Amino acid sequence: MEKIPTLFVRNFSARPAVVLPQVTPGCEWVVDGEGTATRKYDGTCVMLDEAGRWWARREVKPGKTPPSHYLTVSTDAETGKAVGWEPIEQAAFAKFHAEALDNRSTEKPGTYELLGPKINGNPDGYVGHVLMPHGWSVLSVRQDFATAPRDYEGLRAWLRARPYEGIVWHHDDGRLAKLKGRDFPTP
């Protein structure tokens, strides 16, 4: 999985980095009304490959040695971080992934968000660890995301009024774009 571009240009000189009211080149399709808005969950990304092997998304900072068996997918030009996959059994959260496997009902290859009590503070209050397929939500959440605006001010207000971490837009041709509520400057 490549790093998903943020819908709006990031101002990396601000601490923390925030987005500006300028669309990231290549993401214009979102503000043009293309693609489907889906919920961005606050967990950690894992992948089941076609061979049935699980992988954990991992970022490696510039100058750091990647873990063994690490597969680099891309390198972020702004930060220099490598983005890629490591075997799930090497990940710090391997035990929680194993618990989530006991709770899952699919063997379908793809990417998932690992969510639960020991992942990122568990903002959604899961009682056990689960695997959420990327792009999936319950009907009421999908209906809410269908109302999401596509402009800077509208998205800032929309995200601040909801408990979601953010949005991921999925284009029919495979392109993705994301935006987190915390990406906006604080008022």
Concatenating the DSSP letter of every residue in 76-103 gives -TTT--EEEEEEGGGSTTHHHHHHHHHH
- The answer to the question of residue 81 being in a domain is yes
What is the arithmetic mean of pLDDT over 133-155? 93
- The answer to the question of residue 88 being in a domain is yes
- Structure confidence at residue 113 as a pLDDT band (50, 70, 90): very high
Q: Is the pLDDT of residue 37 over 90?
A: yes
- DSSP, res 118: T
Evaluate whether 78 touches 12 at the Cβ level (below 8 Å).
yes
pLDDT attached to residue 16: 85
pLDDT attached to residue 136: 86
- The answer to the question of residue 43 being in a domain is yes
- Structure confidence at residue 163 as a pLDDT band (50, 70, 90): very high
- The answer to the question of residue 149 being in a domain is yes
Q: Is the N-terminal amide bond of 109 cis, ω within 30° of 0?
A: no
Evaluate whether 119 touches 96 at the Cβ level (below 8 Å).
yes
Q: Is the pLDDT of residue 186 over 90?
A: no
Q: Using CB atoms within 10 A of its CB, is residue 84 exposed (0-12), middle (13-18) or buried (19+)?
A: buried
- The answer to the question of residue 105 being in a domain is yes
Name the domain count of the chain. 1
- Structure confidence at residue 106 as a pLDDT band (50, 70, 90): low
Task: Give pTM, 2 decimals.
Answer: 0.84
**DSSP bridge pairs for 111:** 47
Distance, in Å, from the CA atom of 82 to the CA atom of 85, rounded to the nearest integer, reads 10
- The answer to the question of residue 1 being in a domain is no
- The answer to the question of residue 108 being in a domain is yes
Q: Which amino acid is located at 48 in the chain? A: L
Q: What is the Cα 179 distance to its own chain's centre?
A: 9
**Mean of the per-residue pLDDT values for the chain?**
92
pLDDT attached to residue 118: 95
- The answer to the question of residue 2 being in a domain is no
Distance, in Å, from the CA atom of 108 to the CA atom of 134, rounded to the nearest integer, reads 12
What is the arithmetic mean of pLDDT over 3-22? 90
Distance, in Å, from the CA atom of 66 to the CA atom of 63, rounded to the nearest integer, reads 9
What is the arithmetic mean of pLDDT over 51-55? 95
Q: Domain range spanning residue 49?
A: 8-183
pLDDT attached to residue 137: 85
